[in-house]
Amino acid sequence: MKSIDKFYSAVTNGKHICVGLDTDIEKIPNHLKNSDDPIFLFNKSIIDATRAEAAAYKLNFAFYEASGIEGLTSLKKTIEYIGEEIFIIADAKRGDIGSTSAMYAKSVYDYFKFDSITLHPYMGYDSVQPFLEYKDKLNFVLALTSNKSANDFETLTLSTSEKLYQKVIAKVNEWNKQFANCGIVFGATQIEQLQENIQLIKDLPILLPGVGAQGGSLEEVITLFKQHHFTPYLINASRSIIYASNGNDFAEKAAEELKKLNAEIVTLSSAQ
C-alpha cells in the first residue's frame, strides 16, 4: 500500500490515535536496561501490544539521536519491526535550503523508509519542496504547535491581519495542490484556534500532538472533528501510553491506555 493510503485507510476506519515512540532510555523499566538494545526491546514490546489498535506510530528523532549511533540503530530496527502495514511518521522537524532538504528527504524516505515527516515552515517553499517530490508520502508542516512559546512567533499578527500560523496553513494548502501530499501539525492544546481555523484547514490532514502529558483534551478534539468530518486527523499520544506503567506490565498497560483512548473516541463520536 502507498504510504499516504495507509494514513487514509486508518482514519477512514475510525482509527485516530498515533502512538508516539518517544523512547527515553532513562524512563524505560529497569528490567530492560541490561539487554543489548533496551530501546528497541522496549519499542518491540509496545508495538506487539498496540499494533492492532494503533492508527500510526510516530518516532521523534531527538530521542534516538540522544543515544547517538546506537540510538539511530534502534530507530532503524524499530521501523523495520513495525513493517509495511502501519503508517509511520518521522517526527524530525527538518527544513533547510533545497539541496540540503533533498538530503534529509533521502535519509527519512529512502534510507529509514518512513511514510511521513514533520517539517519546519520558516524557510519557505523551497525548503519543503524536496519532500513533496516523494509523491506517495505525507508531509506535515508545523502550523500552530502545542508549546507555550508558540506565542513568540507563530501567533504574531501580520500586516494583512492574518496570524503567522494562518499564513502557513494558507501556503500549505497552496503547496498541497501539486501532489495532495501535505498536512499540518496543530497542537491539541490550541483547541480554540483549531475551531476558528477549521474552514481554512479544510481537508488538509492534521497531526495533533499535545493530548495527555501536555494537557490537550481528547474530548474537545473529537467533538470538534465530529462537526467537521471532512478533516482527516491523527491524535498523537506519547508519554501517556508508553509510560503508562514502569513495571513488568508496561506493554500491557500501554495497550490498555490505547484501548481506553479508542473507546473514548467511539463514545464521543457516537454521542448526540
Q: Which residues bind its own copies (CB under 8 A)?
A: 22, 24, 60, 62-63, 65-69, 71-73, 76, 91, 93-98, 100-101, 103-104, 106-108, 111-112, 120-127, 142, 145-154, 156-159, 161, 164, 167-168, 171, 214
Active-site residue among 76, 93, 167, 259? 93
**Cβ-based nearer residue to its own copies, 159 or 272:** 159
Cell numbers placing 16: 485516530
User: In this structure, what are the phi and psi dihedrals at residue 144, rounded to the nearest 5 degrees?
Assistant: -115, 120
Q: What CA–CA distance (Å, rounded) separates 140 from 177?
A: 14
Least Cβ distance, residue 137 to its own copies (angstroms)? 16
Least Cβ distance, residue 133 to its own copies (angstroms)? 15
**Cβ-based nearer residue to its own copies, 142 or 265:** 142
Answer for the pair 74, 34: CB distance below 8 angstroms, yes or no.
no
Q: What CA–CA distance (Å, rounded) separates 30 from 16?
A: 31
> Catalytic annotation on 202?
no
Least Cβ distance, residue 235 to its own copies (angstroms)? 16
**Cβ-based nearer residue to its own copies, 13 or 159:** 159
The CA-based angle 161-165-166, given to 5 degrees, is 55
CB within 8 A of 91, min separation 6: which ones? 20, 58, 59, 60, 61, 117, 118
**Cβ-based nearer residue to its own copies, 68 or 199:** 68
Q: Catalytic residue positions? A: 93
